[in-house]
Homo-oligomer: A and B are copies of this chain.
């Protein structure tokens, strides 16, 4: 069993869907199975009657990233690496972004890599004041996939995305509040009640207006037509995005992590 994503209704208000990332032994790191379940869960929400979604992690963490133990089985070949990012990861994130129902993220503990990506696909982000944020994959020897990095840069801001990706910086909740990524921070014990209260407040408001707002924000974020320069730049990025699969740097980063030693680049 490598984790799962559960869907239920909030005990106190059945109009609120509760989505829980469950992979407790690994701080809710996302396995491939979990990305596929995430997609299925949000597709179900989109076609249901819920008026708000509360997204959380099981236990003391939101999501510590990807499940690195799985990586050697598919990351070192370009085709399977591309399929992982474009189909599984982006499939899950796109289902969140395509969802017309407002999503509140309750972020405790670690919010790293995949955690940052999922949080960026939510509408409202509240966090425990001791939560930690980052995407330190430069330590793992590979770059964030283009669409995932674009999402994080858009929502967390490009300055923060550059710091996380180029410097492997890990930032505290207070800093992420100051930078505008978080709407609110609360003491850990009050995080979940606070997020529930927000979700229930949204559920009591006009549901058709909420869907119209979500559709509008999505339309405003649709990519513009590209200039020829931009088109060429993006094409180069997309075509070459997974060429690093078999690189020494990539293999060293992941080997070092699994061997619990610092990588030597």
A residues with CB within 8 A of B: 102, 123-125, 137-144, 146, 149-150, 153, 155, 157-163, 165-168, 178-181, 183, 198, 201-202, 204-210, 212-220, 222-227, 229-230, 233-234, 236-237, 241, 244, 247, 249, 253, 263, 265
Contacts and interface: CB of A to CB of B under 8 A. Distances in A.
A244 B214 contact: no
B206 A142 contact: yes
A230 B222 contact: yes
Main secondary structure, interface of A, reads helix
B227 A227 contact: no
Tell me how many chains of this kind the complex includes. 3
Contacts of A161: 217
A144 B214 CA distance: 11
Q: Which 3 A-B pairs have the closest CB atoms?
A: A222-B230, A224-B224, A219-B233
A206 B263 contact: yes
A216 B237 contact: yes
Contact of A166 (B143, B213, B226): B213
Nearest to A262: B204
B225 A166 contact: no
Contacts of A165: 213
A206 B249 contact: yes
B224 A219 contact: no
Contacts of A149: 213, 216-217
B233 A143 contact: no
Contact of A159 (B168, B181, B212, B247): B181
A249 B208 contact: yes
